[in-house]
Amino acid sequence: MIYKGLKGVVCTETKLSMIDGERGQLIYAGYPAKNLSKEHSFEEVAYLLWYGKLPSANELEDIKKKFKEARTLPDYLKNIIKNLPKRLEMLDVIRTVTSSIELISTDKPSVDDAVRITTLIPSAIAYRLYCLDKQPFPDIRKDLDHVAYYLYMVTGREPRGEHVRALETYMILTMEHGLNASTFSARVTASSESDLASAITSAIGTMKGPLHGGAPTGVLELLNEASQSNDIHQMIQEKVERGEKLMGFGHRVYKTLDPRAIALKDILQQNKQDEDWFDLAIKVEDIAVNVLEDLKPGRGLYTNVEYYAAAVMKELKLDPSLFTSTFTASRVIGWTAHVMEQLEDNTIFRPKAEYVGPVFAE
């Protein structure tokens, strides 16, 4: 029997995350992700995924120190970024930079290497924006925790506390999500005993595909269209009837409300700056869910994390070109954790393909 896309096939074991699509649960190493996003920092949850436990106070200070010490963008990476064609998308730049990072470990991938890749992404984005004449290159700062530093580097502005909290919630909730396409790519590459940079480069290449990493931009387009519509219900109904996909609705795994969307909605409710924008997002959500239930009954098509991710990005006034890059900057934690887990008990991935072409006589 053929399982296209390996859908439903169990090919490995993991201690990193568990998804219950029927109940709408996402668990990181034993802890509900929504609770982690409310009670812990980015660095704490990264530590949990890398080491399998939450850090003590001393361990947290140590991992934060590693993050801050690894931020300086080496000259050789600056030269690479400077010489890349201007037409390349930001994710292309991140992918190329990642493939060129000089790793610390010469044996198996290490947390130090994972930290290095994670912390160089904000600096690489900022330097690319500088090369495109979009903003000055900010000073590398070691007084900010990682999410505040990311926001500072990609905007060039002093980060506001409520903005950091909203972005940190998003980045924790998207840090890990089972054996999705990009994570699978990373584990396949790692299973050949290639290095960490190669595995993460594979993952970023997969993330670039619009079926995986580009949804928040599509949500913004939907909401912008709704803001110009005289009849949002009719607009959405016509889209569904034409067979168009409503970006931000439905998920291959969750058959009820995406727990990540619920947590992001809560943080936006607490810190909303643009009342009209947030109210529009709520209105479109209510209408779309009702239309989908009427026209596609029993499908369980609710808002997913990308829907409220778009609302968060809008609140932060991030350029849409940075949406997938921001997703990548959080998911790199999960990717690196999966690579290290893969190599703890490694078997190279080697599925079969059934030949359906012609066979000519010898």
3-class secondary-structure state, position 345: coil
Contacts of 168 (CB under 8 A, 6+ apart): 37, 41, 42, 147
Angstrom distance (rounded) from CA 256 to CA 22: 6
Which pLDDT score is estimated for 86?
95
Per-residue confidence of the chain (362 residues) as pLDDT tens digits?
888 888 888 999 999 999 987 788 899 999 999 999 999 999 999 999 999 999 999 999 999 999 999 999 999 999 999 999 999 999 999 999 999 999 988 788 999 999 999 999 999 999 999 999 989 999 999 999 999 999 999 999 999 998 999 999 999 999 999 999 999 999 999 999 999 999 999 999 999 987 777 656 778 888 889 989 999 999 999 999 998 888 878 766 666 777 888 888 888 777 666 667 778 888 898 898 889 888 888 777 788 888 888 888 887 888 888 989 999 999 999 999 999 999 999 999 999 999 999 999 88
**Does the residue 88 lie in any domain?**
yes
* Residue 352 domain-assigned (yes or no): no
Q: Strands, DSSP E only, in 203-269?
A: none
Q: Residue 312 has what pLDDT?
A: 84
Torsion of CA 76, 117, 201, 79, to 10 degrees: -10
Q: Tokens for 159?
A: 């980060």
| Residue owning tokens 């936006």 | 268
Catalytic option among 285, 306, 315, 341: 306
Instruction: Collapse the DSSP code of 90 into the 3-class scheme (helix H, G, I; strand E, B; otherwise coil) and give the result.
Output: helix
Assigned domain for 152 exists: yes
Same domain flag for 52 and 133: yes
Q: Does residue 222 form part of some domain? A: yes
Query: Three-state SS for 285?
Result: helix
- How many C-beta atoms surround the C-beta of residue 136 within 10 A? 10
CATH code, domain carrying 258: 1.10.230.10
Could you say which of 40, 146, 251, 338 is catalytic? 251
Say if residue 301 is in the same domain as residue 329: no
Please give the pLDDT value at position 272.
Answer: 65
The pLDDT value recorded for residue 254 is: 64
Give residue 82's domain range.
Answer: 14-209+324-342
Q: Who contacts 264 (Cβ-Cβ below 8 Å, separation ≥6)?
A: 169, 170, 173, 305, 308, 309, 311, 312
110 within some domain: yes
Specify whether 288 is located in the same domain as 336.
no
* 280 and 332 together in one domain: no
Q: Structurally, how many domains does the chain consist of? A: 2
Same domain? 76 vs 34:
yes
Could you tell me if 145 and 228 lie in one domain?
no
Q: Rounded to two decimals, what is the model's pTM? A: 0.91
Establish whether 362 is a catalytic residue.
Answer: no
Alpha carbons 299 and 213: distance in angstroms, whole number = 23
Q: How many C-beta atoms surround the C-beta of residue 78 within 10 A? A: 18
203 within some domain: yes
Do 70 and 185 lie in a common domain? yes
The answer to whether 233 is a known catalytic residue is: no
Confidence (pLDDT) at 214: 64
Looking at the structure, tell me whether residues 181 and 219 fall in a common domain. no
pLDDT of residue 362: 81
Q: Are 117 and 254 within one domain?
A: no
Do residue 199 and residue 269 come from a single domain?
no
Q: Same domain for 230 and 281?
A: yes
In a domain? residue 270: yes
Query: What per-residue confidence (pLDDT) applies to 255?
Result: 66
CATH, residue 181: 1.10.580.10
Considering the domain architecture, whether residues 106 and 204 belong to the same structural domain is answered as yes
For residue 32, tell me if it sits in a domain. yes
Q: Take residue 45 and report the two structure tokens written for it.
A: 């949850």
In angstroms, rounded to a whole number, what is the distance separating the alpha carbons of residues 318 and 265? 18
